[in-house]
Chain A
Amino acid sequence: MAQLTYRASVSLAIAQSMRKDQKVFFIGEDVGAAGGVFKATVGLLEEFGKERVMDAPISEQAILGAAMGAAMTGLRPIAEIMFSDFLAVCWDIVANQIAKTRYMSDGQINIPLVIRTANGGGSKFGAQHSQSLENWSMMIPGLKVVAPSCPSDVLGLMDSAVKDPDPVIFYEHKSLYAFKEEIEQTDLSIPIGEANTLHEGKDITIIGLALMAQRAKDAALILKDKHDINAKVIDLRSLVPLDLQTIKKSVIETGHVMTVEENPRLCGWGAEISSLISEHCFKNLKGPVTRVTTPHVPLPSADILEDNTIPSVELIVNEVIKKLKGE
C-alpha cells in the first residue's frame, strides 16, 4: 500500500498507458526535461525518450492539430494544454476539428486522443489561469469530458481515456495536485461514464465534480456529524458520457438535489443536470433543484476574493441546511 498524490498519479497514469501501448505518445509545452509546470509529468522523458515525450513550442493550435492528425492514423496521443484557459487559443482545433471530423466524415475517421489540462481555481492565479471550463467542452457533440477528483480516479480514468476510440478532454484540478490517497494497486481502469458515490445518505443528493466533489464530501461529513443530515454525494467523474441512472436512482430516494459547480453560473453543467432531473424525476422532487456555483463573475485573484467566489465546504453546508431546514 502506497500513498500517492494526484500529481504523481498523473505521471504514473501516463507512464502506465505508454508502457502498455507503443502507439501512445505525449506532447506538450515544458513537459519533458522540465517535467511540466505542475511537475505532473516528471520522469516521463527519462523513461520514454524524446520520440515519445515531445517538448512542443508555444503553439497550442499546432500541438492539438498534430495530436489530431496523428490520432487520425491510429496513434494514441496524449496532448497537454498547460492551463485549461489556454484552450481558448486552440478552440478551433478542439471544437471544430477534433469534435466534428468523425461525424462529418461519416465515421471514416477516428480520433482517439486525450487532451489533459490543468483546470480550476484555488491558486490565486487570477481570471485567466483559474477557470473551470468543463462546460465549454461538454456542450460540443463529439467530445468526452472527464474530471477526476482523486489519484485512483486519475489512474483509472486515464487508462480508459487513452484506450477510448473517441477524443477525451481530461480536466485535472490544480488544487487537487497535492491530494493524497492510499492506493494498493495502481494499474486501474475505470469506465468513463460511471459516477462514484463519495458519501452515502438518503436526505439529499449532492452532485459534484473534481474539487467540488471533494468539498461536497467534506460538507457531507460535517452535515452528518453536526446537523444530523445524511447527504449522498455523487462524484460525476465524467460529464460526457453522463451517468444519469445513478443520479436518478438517488433523486428518487432523496427527493432533494443540489449541484455544486466551480464554474460561473450561466450554462454551468448543473443547469443541464437540473433540466434532466426535472424531465426524468419531476414527481420525485420535494423542492426545486438548487445550484451552488461561483457567481457569474471572472475569478478574482486576492485570497479573500477568490476564497469567497468558489463554493467552499462551509457554503455547501449552509446551503444544504437552508434548503432542508429552511434556516
Chain B
Amino acid sequence: MVDKLNDDIGEEKRLQLWEMMLKLRLVEKKAYDLFLQNLIKGTSHLALGQEAIAGAFGVALKQGDYTFCTYRGHAHTLARGSSIEGVLGELMGRQCGLMKGKGGSMHLTDVDKGVMGSYAIIGAHLTIANGTALASKYNKTNEVSVCFFGDGTTNIGAFHEALNMAKIWNLPIVFVCENNLYMEYTPIHEVTAVEHPAADRAGAYDLDKIIVDGNDADEMLRTAEKAISKAREGKGPSLIEAKTYRHSGHSRADPGKYRPDEEVKDWMENKDPIKNYRAKLLDFNINEKIISEIEEKIKDQVEKATEISMASPIPEIKEIYTDVWANGGSEWHN
C-alpha cells in the first residue's frame, strides 16, 4: 500500500534512484555480454540483483564523502558518479579505464568521486575506511565514510577489529553488510554462529541492530540517509545488514548450482529490486513515459560508453613500470 500523502521521499528523488539503479543493472549486464564476447578477461563479480543498496547510498551520499567497496564493486563505483566508460574500459583493460588497466575489475578506484578503492582481500577495507573517517574527525571536516562488504566478511577478524575501533573512537562511518545469503558457494548460515551475520554482532560493539530489506529501494534509501546523518552529526558509526540476493553466480566462472532453483526463482521473479521499483513508481502515479524515457536514456548511455571503451587503445607496455612510487617510477636502487 502506498501512502501518497505522507510520502517522505518524493518523485524527484525516486526518479533519481530509479535512474541510478537502472544504470547499475544495465552496465553489469553489459559487462556480462562483453565477457561472453571475450572482450573482458580475468574474473569479475557482478552485483546484479543488489542494485538497491549501492544505488540508495549513491543517492544519499554527498560529494566529498568516501566509499569503500569489494571486488563486487562495479555498481558501487558507478553509484558515486564514475563514468561508465571508466568502469567498462577498466574491465576491458583499456586506456580509458579508471586505472588504465592497472587495477582491473576487482580494484576500481576513482578518488575524484570519493571511490577510495575496491578491495579483494576479505575484511581489509573495513579497517581502511576507519582511516578516512578518522581523518575527517581529525581535520574536523564532516565527510562520511561508507564501507560495503558481504555476509561472509563478518567472520574474518578485521571486521571485528574495525567495528570496535570505529565505536571507541566514535568515527563518522557507516558499515553496510550486503547479506546475499552466500559467502562464495556456501550458505552463510552453515558457517556462522548467529542468524544475522552482521546485525547479531552489532550489540557486541554497542551498535544498534539494523536489518533492512536491501531489495526495497525506498527502505534502503531511508536507512542510508539515517545512518549517514548520524555519522555526519558526530553521533558515531552504524552497522546495517541489508538482505539481498545476487542474480548471477559468485564470479564469472560460477553458474551458482549450489543454490536451490526455487530460491533463485523467488528472488528473481518476486524480489527483483528493479522490477519492483518500477511497479512502485507507477503506484505513485509517476508517468510511465518518464520512467521509460529514463530507461532509453540509460540504454543509450551504456551503448555509447561501450563504443568509447572498445575504441580506446590498450595500455602501453611501459605502463608496467610506472607508479610504484610517488615519483612515478619503479626504481629501487640508485
Chain A: residues with CB nearer than 8 A to chain B? 25, 51, 54, 56-57, 59, 61-62, 64-75, 92-93, 96-97, 101-110, 112, 141-142, 164-166, 193, 240-245, 276
User: Are the C-beta atoms of A62 and B162 separated by less than 8 Å?
Assistant: yes
User: Are the C-beta atoms of A240 and B109 separated by less than 8 Å?
Assistant: no
Contact for A110 among B145, B165, B326, CB less than 8 A: B326
A-B CB contact pairs (8 Å), 15 listed: A25-B138, A61-B157, A61-B161, A62-B162, A65-B126, A65-B131, A72-B128, A97-B125, A104-B107, A107-B322, A141-B332, A142-B325, A165-B325, A242-B333, A244-B334
User: Are the C-beta atoms of B127 and A65 separated by less than 8 Å?
Assistant: yes
B198 within 8 A of A: no
- 9-residue interface stretch from B51-59, B110-118, B247-255, B280-288: B110-118
Q: Which of B277-334 contact A (CB under 8 A)?
A: 322-326, 328, 330-334
CB distance from B1 to the nearest CB of A (A): 43
Q: How many A-B residue pairs have CB under 8 A?
A: 159
Bound CA–CA A64/B102 (angstroms): 24
User: Are the C-beta atoms of A57 and B164 separated by less than 8 Å?
Assistant: yes
User: Are the C-beta atoms of A73 and B135 separated by less than 8 Å?
Assistant: yes
Q: Could you say which residues of chain A place their CB within 8 Å of the CB of B66? A: 73
Contact for B127 among A66, A73, A102, A242, CB less than 8 A: A66
CB distance from B240 to the nearest CB of A (A): 20
Q: Could you say which residues of chain B place their CB within 8 Å of the CB of A73? A: 66, 131-132, 135-136, 139
Known: A66-B134, A67-B131, A70-B135. A108 touches B119 (CB 8 A): no
User: Are the C-beta atoms of A106 and B99 separated by less than 8 Å?
Assistant: yes
Q: Could you say which residues of chain B place their CB within 8 Å of the CB of A25? A: 138
Q: Could you say which residues of chain A place their CB within 8 Å of the CB of B109? A: 101, 104-106, 108-109
Closest to A105 in B: B109
Closest to A97 in B: B124
CB distance from B320 to the nearest CB of A (A): 10
User: Are the C-beta atoms of A61 and B325 separated by less than 8 Å?
Assistant: no
CB distance from B19 to the nearest CB of A (A): 26
Chain A to chain B: the 9 pairs with minimum beta-carbon distance, closest first:
A69-B131, A65-B127, A165-B326, A62-B161, A59-B161, A106-B99, A107-B323, A242-B333, A73-B135
Q: Could you say which residues of chain B place their CB within 8 Å of the CB of A110? A: 326
B2 within 8 A of A: no
Q: Could you say which residues of chain A place their CB within 8 Å of the CB of B111? A: 105, 108-109
B129 within 8 A of A: yes
Q: Could you say which residues of chain B place their CB within 8 Å of the CB of A71? A: 131
Contact for B124 among A54, A72, A96, A107, CB less than 8 A: A96
Closest to B101 in A: A106
CB distance from B18 to the nearest CB of A (A): 30
Bound CA–CA A59/B330 (angstroms): 32
Bound CA–CA A70/B134 (angstroms): 6
Closest to B163 in A: A62
User: Are the C-beta atoms of A242 and B332 separated by less than 8 Å?
Assistant: yes
CB distance from B90 to the nearest CB of A (A): 9
CB distance from A94 to the nearest CB of B (A): 11
B194 within 8 A of A: no
User: Are the C-beta atoms of A51 and B328 separated by less than 8 Å?
Assistant: no
Q: Could you say which residues of chain B place their CB within 8 Å of the CB of A243? A: 333-334
Bound CA–CA A65/B138 (angstroms): 16
Bound CA–CA A142/B99 (angstroms): 17
B204 within 8 A of A: no
